[in-house]
Homo-oligomer: A and B are copies of this chain.
């Protein structure tokens, strides 16, 4: 059963690109493909397209189901659909799996057309700028000259921001949610620990684990457990698990004692069975490298001077991964440039994960902003 306001049954599509893509790190992708999904219809003027950029472990499957009995919907189904805040009766919404991803786009799991073997560890390190360039070509492919909006949370918000810098004339609105103008040293430190857990897993084999018929499960599992700590707030973990024992009494062992341990292990195991380690490494590096102010001596105002879009910036009070302060830095730099900016700091208990939750206040703000956009 699908709800009334679901986009319904959807199917991914694929776009192939044969013109070389110069990457920021120096390498060139001579050919590549992107997997994407669309919801709603592109209007006659081609003025209602909205690109939604995914975060670290996300993908192109934003909304709907792949079959009537699919138990899972897309990861932002609560936001996207007919009558939902990102209304598919009005907008033509596009979800894209980024380059280097593991959900169908060119990446470590895909075939390198030159060698006819999986790219694996040889797939280049990609950046937010590279992703945005690849997405712009997808816009060309779809016949869209200018996006009504680009939307993203977390690492997705960085892409939304980068769109306004790389293609200032091609995006009218940017919705930058639970994001940051760059990572702090602490953010990068968590990424480094996650990467080292993967890289030092004996089954990583310098990234060539496909050749050995294994995956660095242990490392990915640790990386994901750690990630989950940073996605939730201390308070949210306290409210959800507190110090609750799983079996009612302490066993004085290293087995699961507390509910929270069980949750982390479950999340880690699940992820390690689904996600590609080489992709995980690349996604965390894209986060590390994103820093538009770097070329401007750290001056974010100068870095954002080229932007022309209107902005909605949203942060969540309990987000300690990308705290409200980081969003305020973006807002300040946009205002310095006399751009149109709306900013909301939403009271929410869920930490960084709040951007994925159907909080009414948050969704009302999104709905209000998106309703105002003329298409």
Contact = CB atoms under 8 A, between A and B. Distances in A.
Interface of A: 24-26, 124-125, 127, 182-186, 188-190, 192-193, 195-197, 199-202, 218, 221-222, 225-226, 228-229, 232, 234, 237-238, 240-243, 250, 252-254, 257-258, 260-261, 264-265, 268, 281, 285, 288-289, 291, 294
A188 B242 CA distance: 10
Contacts of A254: 125, 195, 199, 281, 285
Given A25-B252, A192-B258, A193-B226, 14 more contacts: A25-B250, A125-B253, A184-B234, A185-B240, A185-B243, A185-B258, A188-B258, A189-B225, A189-B229, A195-B254, A196-B221, A200-B218, A201-B218, A243-B294
Contacts of A202: 202, 218
Query: How many copies make up the complex?
Result: 2
B186 A229 contact: yes
Contacts of A252: 24-26, 124-125, 127, 285, 289
B226 A192 contact: no
B125 A189 contact: no
Contact of A192 (B26, B261, B294): B261
A291 B185 contact: no
Contacts of A288: 257-258
Contact of A186 (B234, B261, B268): B234
A243 B188 contact: yes
Contact of A225 (B196, B258, B265): B196
A24 to B, nearest CB: 7
A265 B184 CA distance: 18
Nearest to A24: B252
